Structure 1
Amino acid sequence: MLRDLRLALALLTVLPLAPKGVGEEDFKRSVAFFPLAGYLLGLPLALLALLPLPPGLSAALGVALLLGLTGFLHLDGLLDLADALLGARPREERLRILKDPHLGAFAFGVGGVYLLLLFQALALVQDPLFLLLFPGWARFAFLPFLHRYPLLGPGMAALVRGGPWPFALLPALPFLLLYPLPALLALLAAWGVARLAWARLGGLNGDALGAMIALGEVVLLLAQALLGPAPSSRAGPGLP
């Protein structure tokens, strides 16, 4: 169990915790621990919310931590998928763009909007429990669709597909019970990405999974900011 958790953390964060001698079955079993890896990412965000910092500074630090601890992996998937999916192109051209390491106009546009929304939502959401749990749900929400839609080929998505993903619901369940509407909206966002990738590319790959996680996090935060309780004031010193 600890071995599978370490592998999940190594896959989803920059922490060098991968055990030695991992095989195909180890990758598949690790999916049950993806929500726990998300909670580790949420912990510093929750701690930031407890500090007497201005919301803007707290949000900026939160963005830096969330992106830095994941090695910008999910953001990279979002940018690559944006270039491949958006615009009017034949499927063969989309697949070529997906493999191109250079960024196009759609990647810059989507990335800019994503970062703005992530920053603003983190500035508004000050519930430490939500901030602790939401990265865990974002790392569960894509799993049903990973196992529902076809894959584009070998890669990270193929390595973890086929694992005991329903067991990942157990550690993710507290978020669903406490914040059901944001949780359902994140599932809908993940389904939308998977459906679009299937329709325009023919299946999913690692970039699609990263995009589903990144978009899921923003949807969760925005849903809580718009539909949750009004945030309390955390004005800086000398401000009303």
Structure 2
Amino acid sequence: MKAFRLALALLTVFPVAPREAGEEEFKRSVAFFPLVGYALGLFLALAALLPLPAGLLAALQVALLLGLTGFLHLDGLLDAADALLGARSREARLRILEDPHLGAFAFGVGGVYLLLLWQALARVQDPLFLLLFPGFARFAFLPFLERYPLLHPGMAGAVRGGAWPWALLLALPFPLLYPLPALLGLLVPWGVARLAVARLGGLNGDILGAMIALGEMALLLTQALTLSAPLGLP
């Protein structure tokens, strides 16, 4: 239970962190990352039952997804966009990654991300998909966290080497039910990780946040595009 509470505290705004958590608790918490995603997905699935216009409902779900995570993954995406995009030296990219201010790439990528996330959610209102996709997104980055080097230990280092194969068992329902979105939901975080290694030399917490945020968007967009009706808002 302590490991699950720690996972919930790491990935959401819920104040349930245990008072003391050692290295082993951080490693074990990784196994529960998909379960935390399912908790987030439950809010999205319940919201889908509200009798609201598609655009307004999707906006509410975007607010839930971002708010319940404390905008953590969005913050990582914005910081990663400034650091990874554009023509700069590796040293300049690393300085930008540590800078709390936002640049043009952050605003551009953030705006496009929010628009695509909102549009995709307006199209995808299958409660089962909404329940499961945040859980898979919180598994999909874990193999690449193990595969690629870190820029510095930090929180990424605290959970690296954790029980991610157990997380796979919890995340398994999604790829069994939605194989094509699951494939894209793995390829996008892999691409982000490869770009970060090529341009920065490794991963950190911001890059992991970007991997989760873009992985979620890839899952939703792929599902939206596979549906027979047009993607546009009603």
Q: Which amino acid aligns with 1:132?
A: L
Q: Match for residue 98 of structure 2?
A: 99
Mapped to 1, the partners of 2:175 and 2:7 lie a distance apart of 21
- The 5 A counterparts of 1:75-94 are 75-94=74-93
Alpha-carbon shift at residue 25 of structure 1 (Å) = 1.1
Alpha-carbon shift at residue 111 of structure 1 (Å) = 0.2
Gaps of 5+ in 1: 236-240
SS at match of 2:147: coil
Q: Which amino acid aligns with 1:104?
A: G
Mapped to 2, the partners of 1:221 and 1:143 lie a distance apart of 19
Alpha-carbon shift at residue 21 of structure 1 (Å) = 1.1
Q: Which amino acid aligns with 1:62?
A: Q
Cα pair distance change 1:72/1:211, threshold 3 Å? same
Structure 1 stretches (4+) deviating beyond 2 angstroms? 228-231
SS at match of 1:158: helix
Mapped to 1, the partners of 2:228 and 2:50 lie a distance apart of 19
Deviations 1:97-123 (A, max 9, x none): 000000000000000000000100110
Mapped to 1, the partners of 2:5 and 2:124 lie a distance apart of 29
Q: Match for residue 27 of structure 2?
A: 28
Alpha-carbon shift at residue 228 of structure 1 (Å) = 3.4
Q: Match for residue 196 of structure 2?
A: 197
Alpha-carbon shift at residue 230 of structure 1 (Å) = 4.0
Mapped to 2, the partners of 1:179 and 1:8 lie a distance apart of 25
User: TM-score w.r.t. structure 2 length?
Assistant: 0.97
Alpha-carbon shift at residue 51 of structure 1 (Å) = 1.9
SS at match of 2:172: helix
Q: Match for residue 179 of structure 2?
A: 180
Mapped to 1, the partners of 2:224 and 2:165 lie a distance apart of 29
- The 5 A counterparts of 1:160-171 are 160-171=159-170
Q: Match for residue 207 of structure 2?
A: 208
Q: Match for residue 137 of structure 1?
A: 136
Deviations 1:49-68 (A, max 9, x none): 12221111110100100000
Mapped to 2, the partners of 1:77 and 1:42 lie a distance apart of 20
Q: Match for residue 227 of structure 2?
A: 228
Identity of aligned residues (%): 81
User: TM-score w.r.t. structure 1 length?
Assistant: 0.94
Mapped to 2, the partners of 1:229 and 1:166 lie a distance apart of 35
